[in-house]
A and B are shown apart, each in its own frame.
Chain A
Amino acid sequence: MSTDPSHFLSNIIGSSVTVKLHNGVKYAGVLQSIDGFMNVVLQNGTEVAGESSRTYGDVFIRGNNGMYE
């Protein structure tokens, strides 16, 4: 059992996650892949901004915008 961040991130590939951006918007979806820049691809990504939501098929989120999962 490892708590090393990069291990953690590769272990949660395939599970459903929420990514919060600096601008307050959240994206929920199935984590398809992640790299060293923390670029993220979500499958069936859903944007949650206040009460409005919007869905995308696959979503690529550039690493610098993500805060946490």
Chain B
Amino acid sequence: MSTLRTEQQSQEPLDLIRFQLDEFVLVKLRGAREMKGRLQGYDSHCNMVLSEAQEFIFSEKDVEPIVKKTEMVFVRGDSVILVSPSTE
């Protein structure tokens, strides 16, 4: 019973982000922005620190997004929509 419970707890969504530490992730943000970078850290608010980061700001369709490169960046959790492993 208790083992089952710890198994379930270790399968919580935020624990699954832990497997992506030090890997490249794609973070989708509010305001039509995306951020790609190496995940250095995160917390329960989804605040994140990314290194070697690239920010993509999408404006109109068929227009290339604005890309900003940053060596190290902090992302406040409340603007996070989605986190996924990045191919890069």
Contacts and interface: CB of A to CB of B under 8 A. Distances in A.
User: Is chain B found bound to chain A in the same assembly?
Assistant: yes
A48 interface: no
Nearest to B61: A52
B21 interface: no
Contacts, number: 51
Contacts of A57: 84-85
Interface string B1-28: 0000000000111101100000000100
A60 B13 CA distance: 7
B62 interface: no
Contacts of A45: 84
B31 to A, nearest CB: 10
A35 B46 CA distance: 14
A33 B83 CA distance: 14
A21 B16 CA distance: 20
B56 to A, nearest CB: 14
Given A39-B14, A40-B13, 15 more contacts: A27-B82, A33-B11, A33-B12, A33-B16, A34-B13, A35-B12, A41-B13, A45-B84, A56-B82, A56-B85, A58-B84, A59-B83, A60-B82, A62-B77, A62-B80
Interface of A: 21, 23, 27, 32-35, 37, 39-41, 45, 56-62, 64-65
Q: Which 10 A-B pairs have the closest CB atoms?
A: A39-B13, A56-B84, A60-B83, A41-B13, A35-B12, A33-B11, A59-B84, A62-B80, A41-B16, A65-B81
